[in-house]
């Protein structure tokens, strides 16, 4: 960019956004465009619904550890850079006795009501009214960090929230937003919406995009443009230095990209094995176009789920399961969730949606969590959470990468049905 072109502050911000969007290690490419991000929305929403149901029934308990809230917040916290540490706000601080939603039943019900109300409303005005209502109760330790949960309910209306995002917003706008105030959060939200409208052609209706931009500014990856044009030339030089420093982080981004390629590789193994065994194969709707070996994962697979499955309860979740094998009767014979390095929680929820969605189209399906050998302990620990108590009644199994890699060719040549796959899997939980 020629500095003389930067006639306004808006030009500098626009230049920053362009460079940020092209950076493979920044949040736009590494998180916002990440395929798993959208797949996890439904499972997180379902988890919040379970929190609400348990609070309403009086079965939530008086502790964060082991609760349904811990399960869903843990899943949020695993959503790559921008949500790391999201669980800190909900951890019980015994000396301060905050956040005060565990031991105080009235406060706990108010928190559950906020989540329930916001999940049911459709407008920003309604959401703000519910936020004002919870703020009026002055519940100790329950502040704007809750916005990270509300974001997954209404990504076009509520931006994500953390220290880096606040710092980035203040640096970009010259504001003085404070962390612990709902009033300050709502003021920042209004400013974020204005910024998003101004640069919508480079961002998104989903406020996660601008949230990621503010996060990368606030965490020091990029310097904010100067608030006056006098420093524009110097800022462009500092921006280039920041980009050079960011390139040093490309190894980290490359490792993550390799993680995604490995995920696609395992999906391709399962696709090819299912086809060799005579099944129709379904690849997750948002993975069909991903390439492995320069071939789209969805090549040779079903383009549409059978109508009976497509209209069944939980269909929106079922269509995002990594791999499904369907028999000649168009029933689901096996379902596979590949859990290479991401949260196991979302995959389990999608499998439960399949198994518990009623009818006989998938009642006898084998349910396989496919993961690296080193993740078996993590898989079993997740399934011991109270939120997944129904797993014990279902045909869940853990399929290690090493066993699949070792035996897949022989199974494809000599196997039939699910007998061989079950033989190399390990029952769960």
305 and 315 Cβ atoms separated by less than 8 Å:
yes
% pLDDT > 70, the chain? 89
Give the least confident one: 128-132, 256-260, 286-290, 339-343: 256-260
- Amino acid 341: pLDDT: 63
Chain-centre distance for alpha carbon 29: 14
Where residue 384 falls among pLDDT bands split at 50, 70, 90?
Answer: confident
In the predicted model, is pLDDT for residue 44 greater than 70? yes
Q: Name the residue with higher pLDDT: 157 or 363.
A: 157
- Amino acid 260: pLDDT: 56
Where residue 329 falls among pLDDT bands split at 50, 70, 90?
Answer: confident
**Cα–Cα distance, 99 to 84 (Å, whole number):** 19
In the predicted model, is pLDDT for residue 233 greater than 80? no
Where residue 4 falls among pLDDT bands split at 50, 70, 90?
Answer: very low
355 and 396 Cβ atoms separated by less than 8 Å:
no
Model pLDDT for residues 17-30, shown as the tens digit of each residue: 999 999 888 999 98
**Cα–Cα distance, 232 to 237 (Å, whole number):** 9
What is the average pLDDT score of the chain?
Answer: 86
Model pLDDT for residues 132-143, shown as the tens digit of each residue: 999 999 999 999
**Cα–Cα distance, 351 to 369 (Å, whole number):** 9
Residue 141 Ramachandran class (φ > 0 left, ψ -120 to 50 alpha, else beta): left
- Give the DSSP H or E segment for 237: helix 232-247
List, in order, residues 6 or more apart from 348 with CB less than 8 Å away: 337, 369, 382, 383, 388, 391
In the predicted model, is pLDDT for residue 416 greater than 90? no
- Amino acid 137: pLDDT: 96
Tell me the chain's radius of gyration from C-alpha atoms.
23
- Amino acid 381: pLDDT: 81
Model pLDDT for residues 257-278, shown as the tens digit of each residue: 555 558 889 999 999 999 999 9
- Amino acid 255: pLDDT: 53
**Mean pLDDT, to the nearest integer, of 199-218?**
96
In the predicted model, is pLDDT for residue 406 greater than 70? yes
In the predicted model, is pLDDT for residue 7 greater than 70? no
Where residue 284 falls among pLDDT bands split at 50, 70, 90?
Answer: very high
The tokens for 13 are 């911000």
Neighbours of 248 (CB within 10 A): 9
- Amino acid 2: pLDDT: 43
The Cβ-side half-sphere exposure at 338, using a 13 Å CA radius, reads 24
- Nearest CA-CA partner of 388 in 356, 355, 336, 349: 349
Residue with tokens 């920044």: 26
Where residue 5 falls among pLDDT bands split at 50, 70, 90?
Answer: very low
Where residue 232 falls among pLDDT bands split at 50, 70, 90?
Answer: low
- Distances 7 to 4, 14, 18, 238, 343 between C-alpha atoms, Å: 7, 12, 17, 18, 45
> Hey, where are the domains in the chain?
27-220, 256-427
**Cα–Cα distance, 262 to 140 (Å, whole number):** 44
- Amino acid 218: pLDDT: 94
Model pLDDT for residues 150-172, shown as the tens digit of each residue: 999 999 999 999 999 999 999 99
**Cα–Cα distance, 225 to 168 (Å, whole number):** 11
- Amino acid 362: pLDDT: 63
Neighbours of 347 (CB within 10 A): 27
- DSSP 8-state assignment for residue 225: P
Neighbours of 237 (CB within 10 A): 11
166 and 191 Cβ atoms separated by less than 8 Å:
no
């Amino acid at each position: 960019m020629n500095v003389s072109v930067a006639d306004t502050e808006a030009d500098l911000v626009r230049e920053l956004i362009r460079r940020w969007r092209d950076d493979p290690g920044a949040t736009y490419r590494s998180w916002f465009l990440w395929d798993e991000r959208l797949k996890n929305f439904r499972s997180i929403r379902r988890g919040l619904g379970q929190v609400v149901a348990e609070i309403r029934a009086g079965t939530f308990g008086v502790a964060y550890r082991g609760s349904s809230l811990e399960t869903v917040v843990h899943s949020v916290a695993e959503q790559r850079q921008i949500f790391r540490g999201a669980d800190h706000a909900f951890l019980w601080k015994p000396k301060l006795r905050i956040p005060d939603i565990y031991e105080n039943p009235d406060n706990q019900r108010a928190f559950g009501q906020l989540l329930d109300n916001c999940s049911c409303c459709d407008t920003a005005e309604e959401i703000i009214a519910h936020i004002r209502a919870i703020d009026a109760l002055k519940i100790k330790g329950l502040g704007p960090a809750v916005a990270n949960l509300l974001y997954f309910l209404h990504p076009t209306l509520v931006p994500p929230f953390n220290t880096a995002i606040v710092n980035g917003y203040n640096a970009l706008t010259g504001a003085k937003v404070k962390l612990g105030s709902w009033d300050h959060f709502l003021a920042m939200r209004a400013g974020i919406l204005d910024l998003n409208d101004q640069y919508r052609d480079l961002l998104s209706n989903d406020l996660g995009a601008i949230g990621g931009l503010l996060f990368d500014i606030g965490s020091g990856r990029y310097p904010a443009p100067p608030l006056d044009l006098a420093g524009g030339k110097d800022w462009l030089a500092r921006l280039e230095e920041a980009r050079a420093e960011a390139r040093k982080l490309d190894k980290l981004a490359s490792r993550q990209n390799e993680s995604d390629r490995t995920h696609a590789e395992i999906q391709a193994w399962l696709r090819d094995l299912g086809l060799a065994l005579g099944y129709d194969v379904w690849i997750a709707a948002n993975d069909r176009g991903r390439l492995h070996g320069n071939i789209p994962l969805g090549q040779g697979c079903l383009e549409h789920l059978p109508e009976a499955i497509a209209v069944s309860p939980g269909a929106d979740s079922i269509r995002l399961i990594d791999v499904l094998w369907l028999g000649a009767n168009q029933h689901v014979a096996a379902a596979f969730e590949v859990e290479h390095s991401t949260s196991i929680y979302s995959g389990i929820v999608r499998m439960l949606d399949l198994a518990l969605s009623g009818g006989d189209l998938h009642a006898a399906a084998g349910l396989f969590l496919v993961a690296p050998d080193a993740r078996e302990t993590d898989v079993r620990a997740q399934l011991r959470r109270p939120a997944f108590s129904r797993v014990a009644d279902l045909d869940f199994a853990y399929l290690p990468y090493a066993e699949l890699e070792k035996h897949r060719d022989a199974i494809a040549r000599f196997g039939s049905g699910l007998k061989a796959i079950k033989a190399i899997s390990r029952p769960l939980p």
